[in-house]
Amino acid sequence: MNSSSRFAVSVHVLALLALEARPVPSAYIAGSVNTNPVVIRRILALLNKAGFTHSTLGASGGTTLALPASRINLLDLYRAVEEPGVLSLHRNSPNPACPVGRNITSILGGIFEQAQLAMENVIEAMTLQDVLDQLNAAQSPH
Amino acid sequence: MNSSSRFAVSVHVLALLALEARPVPSAYIAGSVNTNPVVIRRILALLNKAGFTHSTLGASGGTTLALPASRINLLDLYRAVEEPGVLSLHRNSPNPACPVGRNITSILGGIFEQAQLAMENVIEAMTLQDVLDQLNAAQSPH
DNA sequence: CATAATGTAACTACAATTGTTACATTATGT
DNA sequence: ACATAATGTAACAATTGTAGTTACATTATG
């Protein structure tokens, strides 16, 4: 279990919702993602809170996209569902009595921040619409 | 436990070794990193295998840096001690009977690859010597 | 030959993620 | 009204990766 797949699943879910006009039940989404409906509902709770989607209760309820796909930025989505920081510092604070231990975490922190920023810039350049376009292209290369 | 701290610890360890002329025992390193010597030895096993360091057995044994700090690239180090891929795809393959499920992983895979590359470009631009320079600067800003 | 070190196996502890069951709540539509 | 179908969410199990710990065989020094 290297890390979370919530971001990947979220993109998948939103792409699916974008193709449906009516509320989609979590069980249907789970069928496409190949997981349990509760797993989907947990992710939908995050997406609802962030305003990307809207769920309705009751029979014929389900979830709809709350924003146009072109306004859903993948970085915003990433931040809504993932813990920040792809590179991790020490678990326990290094020994402050050692010159290296005293300073290494702030130095590494600066480097890790730059790396994170570079990574985020890539996904910030993409929206859900870009993903939908690629999905369309994959289905009709004829 | 978002991810591994092996990369951070590895930079710490190599920085420490760079400041010592003689073989450094794992117990000493562990004192600076604030962890157990076996944890250090496990990481040293990876660093030895990758050729960054060299350990010697027996009394007055320990580990020394095997390369000049300016020739230790942080990306090479990262690859020696960490699992690749900061963004993760679905745990289980999506449903291939669904148009979205069938194509989403290859599309996401392309995006994740770009993100990874951008992140790696940042750490590739740095060597252990750069870290040592920052350590020196942090200790003598007088 | 006592000492000090690595290498490594084995086990524990811990935390994050995901899967699963269960059920209260809410809305629909006949 | 009421059967039905959906969400929301709690609780728990399963799996995995990381790190901490103990133990000990092996190796080299002086």
Query: In the numeric block, which tokens belong to residue A107?
Result: 């130095």
pLDDT class for A3, splitting at 50, 70, 90? Answer: confident
Least confident range of A6-10, B35-39, B81-85: B81-85
Kindly report the bases of strand D lying within 7 A of a protein C-beta atom. Answer: 3-11, 15-23, 26-30
| A137 interfacial to chain B (CB closer than 8 Å) | no
Over residues A22-28, mean pLDDT:
98
The label of the residue with tokens 């631009």 reads B125
CB < 7 A from strand C, the residues are: A 1, 3-6, 9, 35-39, 56-61, 82-83; B 1-2, 24-27, 37-38, 41-42, 44-45, 48, 55-63, 88, 91-92
Q: Does B98 contact A32 at a Cβ distance shorter than 8 Å?
A: yes
pLDDT surpasses 70 at A55: yes
The predicted pLDDT at position A1 comes to 54
pLDDT-above-70 percentage for chain A: 97
Average pLDDT on B40-58 reads 98
Task: Name chain B contacts of A4, Cβ cutoff 8 Å.
Answer: 88
The whole-number average pLDDT for the span A38-49 is: 98
Give the whole-number percent of chain B exceeding pLDDT 90.
Answer: 94
Q: Which residues contact B133 (CB under 8 A, 6 or more apart)?
A: none
Is the pLDDT at A141 greater than 80? The verdict is no
Q: What is the pLDDT of residues B80-131, one digit of tens each?
A: 999 989 999 999 999 999 999 999 999 999 999 999 999 999 999 999 999 9
Distances from the Cα of A1 to the Cα of A113, B28, B82, B88, B141, angstroms: 24, 32, 13, 9, 43
Q: Return the residue of A nearest to B28 by Cα.
A: A98
d(CA A50, CA A47): 5
- Helix or strand (DSSP H, E) at B56: strand B53-56
Measure the CA dihedral B114/A47/A37/B89, to 10°: 10
pLDDT at B103: 98
Predicted pLDDT of residue B2: 57
pLDDT interval class at A5 (50, 70, 90): very high
Report percent pLDDT > 70 for chain B: 99
pLDDT number for residue A140: 81
pTM above 0.75, yes or no: yes
Mean pLDDT, rounded, of chain A: 96
Asked if A34 reaches chain B (Cβ–Cβ under 8 Å), the answer is yes
pLDDT surpassing 70 at residue B1: no
> Does an H or E element contain A53, and which?
strand A53-56
Query: Which chain A residues touch B42 with a CB distance below 8 Å?
Result: none
Q: How confident is the model at residue A2 (pLDDT cuts 50, 70, 90)?
A: low
In this prediction, residue A135 carries a pLDDT of: 98
Q: Does any CB of chain A come closer than 8 Å to the CB of residue B85?
A: yes
3-class SS of residue B49: helix
